[in-house]
């Protein structure tokens, strides 16, 4: 948990410098013998990694805090699964990033976007759970909850998923604002 926490603090506050190092040359373009450098958001493998690790970190923190709230256990032992890395990473990268850019281009209010993220999260969680269940590998089971569907999703978590959607909205906006860092602008105009 500590390693994940340090990684996330580093990623959020040190990312502008890292992004400057990850510039992508524009294909076949040059100006006066000098290659034009085009700054881009983090390449997809880095974004996939960021969302996957971030999702696992949040899940471990959530389960540790849940254990404390339920039993008063101060060890704050959280848990997750390797499958969660792929579930969160691919879900945020393939679905939520696209939804964010699409809904923002439609000028949808951020609260309404968060509601759409929750619906998307439920669809993604159900789909991933269904696939993993086929291989007897689904790490979550919501059958103990009243409003569950096949034990793969539960409506009782909707408020928590909404808080997660708010958190995603903050993180994606931080990542997008990195393009406004002076180093990025200088690289774009070079």
* Tokens linked to 6: 């340090």
> CB 75: neighbour CB atoms within 10 A?
9
pLDDT for res 25: 36
Paired tokens of 138 = 């689904």
* Token couple for 101: 């850019």
- Under the phi-then-psi rule, with left for phi > 0, alpha for psi from -120 to 50, and beta for the rest, what region is 83? alpha
pLDDT (0 to 100) of residue 44: 82
CB 38 within 8 A of CB 188: yes
What pLDDT is recorded for position 169? 93
Give the span between the Cα atoms of 117 and 165, in whole angstroms: 6
Q: How high is the mean pLDDT in each 10-residue block of the chain (190 residues)?
A: 46 44 38 42 82 94 94 93 95 92 93 96 97 96 96 96 95 78 58
CA 84/CA 3 separation, integer angstroms = 17
Which pLDDT does position 187 carry in this prediction?
Answer: 52
pLDDT for 177? 78
Burial of 129 from C-beta contacts in 10 A (0-12 / 13-18 / 19+): buried
């Amino acid at each position: 948990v500590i390693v994940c926490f340090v990684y996330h603090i580093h990623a959020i506050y040190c990312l502008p410098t890292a992004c400057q190092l990850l510039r992508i040359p524009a294909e076949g373009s040059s100006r006066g013998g000098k290659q034009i450098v085009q700054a881009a958001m983090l390449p997809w493998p880095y974004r996939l990694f960021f969302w996957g690790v971030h999702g696992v970190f949040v899940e471990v923190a959530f389960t540790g805090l849940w254990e404390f709230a339920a039993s008063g256990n101060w060890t704050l032992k959280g848990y997750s699964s390797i499958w969660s890395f792929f579930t969160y990473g691919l879900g945020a990268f393939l679905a939520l990033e696209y939804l964010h850019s699409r809904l923002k281009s439609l000028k949808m209010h951020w609260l309404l976007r968060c509601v759409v993220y929750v619906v998307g999260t439920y669809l993604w969680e159900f789909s991933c759970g269904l696939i993993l269940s086929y291989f007897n590998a689904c790490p979550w089971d919501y059958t103990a909850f009243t409003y569950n569907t096949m034990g793969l999703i539960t409506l009782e978590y909707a408020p928590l998923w909404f808080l997660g959607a708010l958190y995603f909205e903050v993180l994606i906006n931080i990542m997008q604002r990195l393009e406004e860092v002076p180093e990025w602008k200088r690289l774009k105009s070079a």
